[in-house]
Amino acid sequence: MATQMQLAREGKVTDAMKRVAEEERIPAETIRERVARGSIAICANVNHENLTPRGVGEGLRTKVNANIGTSSTFPDIEPELKKLDEAVRCGADAVMDLSTGNNIDLSRKRIIEHSPIMVGTVPLYQATVRSIKEHGAVVEMTDDDLLETIEAQAKDGADFMTLHCGVTRAAIEHMRAQGRVMDIVSRGGSFIAGWMLHNEQENPLYERYDDILDICEKYDVTISLGDGMRPGCTADATDRAQLTELITLGNLVDRAWKRGVQVMVEGPGHVPYDQIAANMKLEKRLCRNAPFYVLGPLVTDIAPGYDHITSAIGGTLAAVSGADFLCYVTPAEHLALPDIDDVHTGVITARIAAHAADLVKGVPGAREWDLKMAQARKELDWQAQLDLAIDPELAREKRGARNPQDEGACSMCGDYCAVEIIHKYFDKRECPCND
């Protein structure tokens, strides 16, 4: 079975491309052209049966991902399925199953069966858990263990996979030579780096990349090239290790595209505000405009409990500067496994950041949404305002709790509402310029 990229190169507009085009208000032929050259990825595993396809990349609405999944502390899958439902309800475009708890296979299968949106996975997590359980240590993992895990997750219907192929011995040596405050903070990056240092071998995900491409081509899995060397604090941003990995990822993008395998590239991390635009431009240049998927970036390290905000600040600039896909950050980041309320807040906050960028990028429909809200506010049409709100339930709750019934103005201004005043005195007079 051919991949979306292979079919696009043959000049075929697939059903998935048509659905993406309809959602994005862009001609289907434009979607096909961009899928063919790799600047758009349609993450749609052939075995994900109830998926509504969505595109990530050039000219499209900035997408939002929500992370869910079990942990060794909270191994029950049921709360994660409720988080999935909440993420979908709040408008997430994708979820990633980061499960490391009991029965990872069952957790993944249930999430994929339950999800109408894209599902991503991190095969290295499961391979590591398996190695620890069977052999007592992650360093006993074999490259065949990794490939078997990738194949199993692809067969189950994972639409995209984070693969830490760019964590090479050269990148680790550059990190050691330059020095870092926080070394490696990526969980997958630390797993594979520990394996490499213990075994004194190159990264098997890098050395067996052609075998990985075989699997991803078979199931049309989009590779999300993981940023295992991403900075975990602003002091480590844009250093030699991060950029060495990024150069490697650019080469791996080329190799995937030659096979007709779709690919995205993952990016930082914790980045000072004044370095974000440069990071986005570097990725787009080195990776030939492949879709860019970023965590944040978080613009400061001092706000645990509010990192959804530090992430949104960076996410908007990142998307304006070229990022295509924002991974949400919740108020629980750096503190705990997020609960369902954290998921809600994380998705809505990331969507606000994405929409703010889409206004600047001229994404179809973005400005129209804001204009409708402005018109509703001018008319003091509260029903329209609440319907147009990105989080209608919260808006209705605030409006209903703090305003008299059927009051035209809000309780912030009361009798001195600027909108009511200007309606009374300005709109009833003819404009002097008409004289």
The C-alpha atoms of residue 177 and residue 171 are separated, in whole angstroms, by 10
3-class SS of residue 92 = coil
Instruction: Write out the binding residues.
Output: 67, 96, 125, 164, 186-188, 227-230, 266, 270, 293, 334, 410, 413, 417
pTM of the model: 0.95
Instruction: Write out the binding residues for substrate.
Output: 67, 96, 125, 164, 186-188, 227-230, 266, 293
- Provide DSSP, 372-427: HHHHHHHTT-HHHHHHHSSSHHHHHHHHHHSS-TT-SS-TTTGGG-HHHHHHHHTT
| Cα dihedral 126, 205, 66, 319 in deg (nearest 10) | 170
| Residue 386, pLDDT score | 96
| Residue 407, pLDDT score | 67
Closest CA to 43 of 22, 19, 59: 19
Name all domains of the chain by residue range, CATH numbers in brackets: 46-52+62-351 (3.20.20.540), 366-434 (no CATH)
Instruction: Write out the binding residues for [4Fe-4S] cluster.
Output: 410, 413, 417
Closest CA to 232 of 263, 269, 266: 269
CA angle 68, 69, 73 (to 5 degrees): 125
pLDDT tens per residue, the chain (435 residues)? 899 999 999 999 999 999 999 999 999 999 999 999 999 999 999 999 999 999 999 999 999 999 999 998 899 999 999 999 999 999 999 999 999 988 999 999 999 999 999 999 999 999 999 999 999 999 999 999 999 999 999 999 999 999 999 999 999 999 999 999 999 999 999 999 999 999 999 999 999 999 999 999 999 999 999 999 999 999 999 999 999 999 999 999 999 999 999 999 999 999 999 999 999 999 999 999 999 999 999 999 999 999 999 999 999 999 999 999 999 999 999 999 999 999 999 999 999 999 999 999 999 999 999 999 999 999 999 999 999 999 999 999 998 888 876 667 777 777 777 787 777 777 555 544 444
The C-alpha atoms of residue 323 and residue 64 are separated, in whole angstroms, by 11
Instruction: Write out the binding residues for Zn(2+).
Output: 270, 334
Q: What are the distances in angstroms from CA 110 to CA 99, 104, 159, 238, 370? A: 12, 10, 14, 38, 37
Closest CA to 288 of 65, 61, 57: 57
Closest CA to 124 of 204, 48, 68: 204
